[in-house]
Structure 1
Amino acid sequence: MAPTRDSPTRTTVSTFTLSTLVVGSMVGAGVFSLPGTFAEQTGVTGSALAWLLAGTGTMMLALVFHHLAQRRPDLDAGVYSYARAGFGRYLGFLSALGYWASACAGNVFYWVFIMSTIGAVVPALGDGSTPLAVALSSAGLWVFFVLVRRGTREAAAVNRIVSVAKVLPIVVFIALCVFAFDPAVFAANLTADGGIPLFEQVRGTLLLTVFAFIGVEGASSFSRHARRRRDVGRATVWGFLSVLAIFLSVTIVSFGVLPRDEIARLQQPSMAGVLAEVVGPWGAGFIGVALIVAVLGAYLSWTLMAAEVLLVAARDGDLPPAFARTNDKDVPVGALTMSTMLVQVLLLVVLVANNAFDVALNLTSALALIPYFLTAAYGLRVALADRADATQRRARRIADTVVALLATGYTAFLLYAAGGEYVLLAMLILVPGTALFVIARRAARRRVFAAWEWLVFAAALTGAVAAVTMIATGALTV
């Protein structure tokens, strides 16, 4: 029987395509700014230590996703399903809503960043917030909507191509910097001047890296399309290791081209200035084109993942049924439309906002980190339960517990590093959004909150009230 709108054929993708979703969501605009942002804080030694610490922490989280993909293959959409399975429907809903809102806010940044990059050549685009820039961003937004709506497999295939296309220029950058590598310059950049202790340098640099790996859950969010459930865990680890190698290489090889203080003074994206030093002015243009391709790829990845999370939450009854609608190409059109409309509204807000866009970027991180923490905590619960299972090997049980414990501690630290004020601002999105959860639960004629979930809602409401109070008194600027 031919597939219908109510029972579409489930599309599947390969391990490589799942890996490119991880790479595509993590490698965006940030990688092109790494040389300058790191050089402002530290030298080679501090950079290497910061990536080692951040990479280790995120690797623990990636291994938690890997473990959960094996232990709970019945759960789809990663961060939402894991939070729901571990801590109930309402926290699962908050995880889904926060993740979705984070993706939408991040996608606004991508469009503004693209337009501001082109604005260096086309002055009418300015910093990406002019009427022409917003109009072009809006046109691009709906072009991507049409692309994704045509089919999940087609969109994932485009993402695979774009992910490869945006990584290749970065590999070329690394290779050219290695070719032009000056050992004397590199040795002079081993430590930073100024007498700042190495620990302080690393701590300052670490705050630059803690959000660099957002997107590590890409394969898990798209898990219902995996050909085999074990592919999800493999894709997560492979994708993460690939991105870590890219970030570390871009940062370190730059220190062999220019003195640290000169790298720190480069205009962003600083990769352009470094490559221009190696090959001449055309290097800056080359990086500019690569940056636009990278940002578009990250945008496509986040669009796919945001829609998937809403779809699964709606199918579980935690969002209204409209979000559960798919077309005959297995595309969650209800969730995709909602995501696109929110990004469109936020693009219009950019026209009149002063610093609201900067706040949105910080909110992107805070909203994404809440689902990460809940996922790591659920991984710890599963690992502790496995310790009582005599059929599991003792060494494996201990290793899984240690990994999950480290991941939970690391994600808790990330929430702290994000700043308490942005966690409070996140409540201004999550608390009103709870209305969707109430509508869905009442439509199903189910109890809205369990007894302890009222406490969670009360805590979130208190945070939202505190945020409003701080904004009203000027203690928090939006």
Structure 2
Amino acid sequence: MQQNKLGLWMLTALVVGNMVGSGIFMLPRSLTEAASPLGVILAWLLTGGGVLMTALVFGNLAIRKPDLNGGPQIYAKELFPKGSSISILSGFMSSWGYWIGNFAGNVAIITTFASYLSTFFPILTSKQALFTIGSTDIKLGNLLTFLVCTALLWGMHFIILRGIEGAGKLNFIATAAKVLGFFLFIVISLFAFERSNIGSFVAPRYDEAGHTVSLLGQVNNAAVATLWAFIGVESAIVFASRAIKQSDVKRATILGLLIALAIYIGISVLVMGLLPQKQLIQSEKPLVDAIQTILGPSGGYILAGLGLVSLLGSTLGWVLLSAEVPYQAAKQGLFMRSFLKENKKGMPSFSLLLSNSLAQMFIFSTISHSMSAAFDFVIYIATLAYLIPYFIASVFQLKLTWTGETYEKTGKSRIADGIIALLATIYSIWVIIAGTADIKTFLFGIALLASGIFFYPQVKKVAQEPTKKQKLSA
């Protein structure tokens, strides 16, 4: 993988590799708990359509605004007059939220790795209490999980510091292996599917207070979880500056989305037919438990091994992405200068160190929660952090179609892009509203975003320096 020489298939591998990570392994459990089979299917259809619109927005912007690299959050500053305070603030806060989503997402992948590693080392799920801190019992399995997650995070850190070439090749191999493995899983599962395991197609779901959740409420609950499965669809956009052709960025984004969608729908539906509903909801590793019903323990080991390879590749991709985002934002004048620091291999060393240090803080959640509970908590925070940049990118595309910027004349392409941008905007708003319905999640997400205000004065000072120099020279 040569810098600035990413072709279609390497870009597609980045998209698929970063999307098909932790979600595919844990979502069958999360979705079954959140919604009935009908609610799950509706959530997939709505999310798939919404993400497709968002992916088309990303692809269009990559072609029409090739100078804006680093991810969808970069478009925030373009919504307002160049160099204005509101332009700098919106660009920084969007980048800040997107960055939070990146390193929080790393934790979801890493905790899933530990979950599947427990297939080979059951001690990782041990409930034996070792000691008590305050009112919290520290269990052996949780402590070992914390140590495994920490070792994986910093192991990836040092691999990436050695250069992007090795990390990129390993990610490509892992992506190829996971795609092949998952399609084989789908084929095998078709022969063992049991309709009776799914139960009623419209089975009720209940909230914490014991009240029945409506079908629309179930779809809302599942929508945030299903969106997590597509986080990473913008990966080709983040690395657009390294693409051989900008048109490949759009092709890779759409192709990667379609590959991932086929895998997601196939596996999520089939797993519901392989495991009884109660067992699926309680499972820490649903895909392994599902394949064991067909092939026995040996099948579980094979799938767990595939999962570990897959998650290693995803971890590499996401750790790299989490460092690249603030690094590119700093190049645009939207982040602190310290994030521009590189090592001898050209890797953003400071950005990588700080991103992983913050991810380490999230990993502490595994000490007092089960792996599945930690996964659910982190994906909600990460997904909501991503939705703001997705929304901004859609609004920016709307602005271009409205003003006609980058469009030579009014025509079918401008109208079509406008409709796509409008649908993507509506979808983003819907998921944001659904995701923030839980007040605890909403307040925690707001607190994480608001924490960026402390660093804004530094960013504003750096961003306004070129303007001051221009005035002095004039």
TM-score bracket for the superposition, by shorter chain length: 0.7 to 0.9
Identity %: 32
Opposite residue 12 of structure 1, the aligned amino acid is K
Equivalent position of 1:60 in the other structure: 53
CA spacing shift, 1:359–1:52, aligned 2, 3 Å: closer
CA spacing shift, 1:79–1:444, aligned 2, 3 Å: closer
Q: Is the 8 A contact 1:377 1:404 kept in 2?
A: yes
Task: List aligned pairs for 1:384-399, cutoff 5 A.
Answer: 384-386=402-404, 389=407, 391-392=408-409, 394-399=411-416
Opposite residue 226 of structure 1, the aligned amino acid is A
Q: Distance in 1 between matches of 2:300 and 2:383?
A: 29
Equivalent position of 1:12 in the other structure: 5
Confirm whether residue 323 of structure 1 aligns to residue 323 of structure 2. Answer: no
Higher mean C-alpha displacement, 63-72 vs 416-425:
416-425
Q: Distance in 2 between matches of 1:239 and 1:361?
A: 21
Q: Secondary structure at the match of 1:141?
A: helix
Q: Distance in 1 between matches of 2:448 and 2:435?
A: 17
Give structure 2 stretches of 5+ with no counterpart: 81-86, 127-139, 206-212, 468-474
Q: Is the 8 A contact 1:138 1:347 kept in 2?
A: yes
Task: List aligned pairs for 1:95-134, cutoff 5 A.
Answer: 95-119=94-118, 121-122=120-121, 124-126=123-125, 130-134=142-146
Partner residue of 2:202 out of 186, 192, 202: 192
Equivalent position of 1:27 in the other structure: 20
Equivalent position of 2:294 in the other structure: 278
Partner residue of 1:247 out of 264, 285, 290: 264
Q: Secondary structure at the match of 1:210?
A: helix
Opposite residue 277 of structure 1, the aligned amino acid is T
Normalization by structure 1: what TM-score? Answer: 0.81
Q: RMSD over aligned Cα, in angstroms?
A: 3.2
Q: Distance in 2 between matches of 1:59 and 1:333?
A: 34
Instruction: Give 1:246 shift.
Output: 0.7
CA spacing shift, 1:47–1:424, aligned 2, 3 Å: closer
Give structure 1 stretches of 5+ with no counterpart: 1-8, 449-478
Q: Is the 8 A contact 2:398 2:421 kept in 1?
A: yes
Partner residue of 1:228 out of 228, 245, 261: 245
Q: Distance in 1 between matches of 2:334 and 2:256?
A: 30
Opposite residue 395 of structure 2, the aligned amino acid is A
Confirm whether residue 169 of structure 1 aligns to residue 168 of structure 2. Answer: no
Partner residue of 2:392 out of 354, 357, 374: 374
CA spacing shift, 1:179–1:228, aligned 2, 3 Å: same
Partner residue of 1:212 out of 210, 229, 234: 229
Provide Cα deviations, 1:283-326, integer angstroms capped at 9, x if missing partner: 22222222222322222221121111111111222222221123
Higher mean C-alpha displacement, 240-249 vs 391-400:
391-400
Partner residue of 1:76 out of 50, 65, 69: 69
Normalization by structure 2: what TM-score? Answer: 0.81
Equivalent position of 1:42 in the other structure: 36
Task: List aligned pairs for 1:287-326, cutoff 5 A.
Answer: 287-326=303-342
Q: Distance in 1 between matches of 2:271 and 2:16?
A: 22
Instruction: Give 1:356 shift.
Output: 8.1
Task: List aligned pairs for 1:302-451, cutoff 5 A.
Answer: 302-348=318-364, 350-351=366-367, 359-386=377-404, 389=407, 391-392=408-409, 394-419=411-436, 421=439, 422-443=441-462, 446=465
Q: Secondary structure at the match of 1:13?
A: coil
Q: Distance in 2 between matches of 1:192 and 1:80?
A: 38
Q: Is the 8 A contact 1:112 1:129 kept in 2?
A: no
Q: Distance in 2 between matches of 1:444 and 1:65?
A: 25
Instruction: Give 1:193 shift.
Output: 4.6
Q: Secondary structure at the match of 1:22?
A: helix
What number of residue pairs does the alignment pair up?
435
CA spacing shift, 1:339–1:38, aligned 2, 3 Å: closer
Provide Cα deviations, 1:85-138, integer angstroms capped at 9, x if missing partner: 224221111111111111112222333332243345535534797444333333
Opposite residue 182 of structure 2, the aligned amino acid is I
Provide Cα deviations, 1:261-294, integer angstroms capped at 9, x if missing partner: 4674562432223222222232222222222223
Q: Distance in 1 between matches of 2:268 and 2:220?
A: 16
Q: Distance in 2 between matches of 1:261 and 1:186?
A: 10
Q: Is the 8 A contact 1:29 1:295 kept in 2?
A: yes
Provide Cα deviations, 1:129-188, integer angstroms capped at 9, x if missing partner: 744433333332222112111222332222111111222221111010124456xx3898
Q: Distance in 2 between matches of 1:367 and 1:193?
A: 31
Q: Distance in 2 between matches of 1:122 and 1:255?
A: 26
CA spacing shift, 1:342–1:50, aligned 2, 3 Å: closer
Q: Is the 8 A contact 2:115 2:284 kept in 1?
A: no
Q: Distance in 1 between matches of 2:375 and 2:192?
A: 38
Q: Is the 8 A contact 2:334 2:463 kept in 1?
A: no
Opposite residue 19 of structure 1, the aligned amino acid is T
CA spacing shift, 1:186–1:312, aligned 2, 3 Å: same
Instruction: Give 1:201 shift.
Output: 5.6
Q: Distance in 1 between matches of 2:430 and 2:88?
A: 25
Opposite residue 437 of structure 1, the aligned amino acid is Y
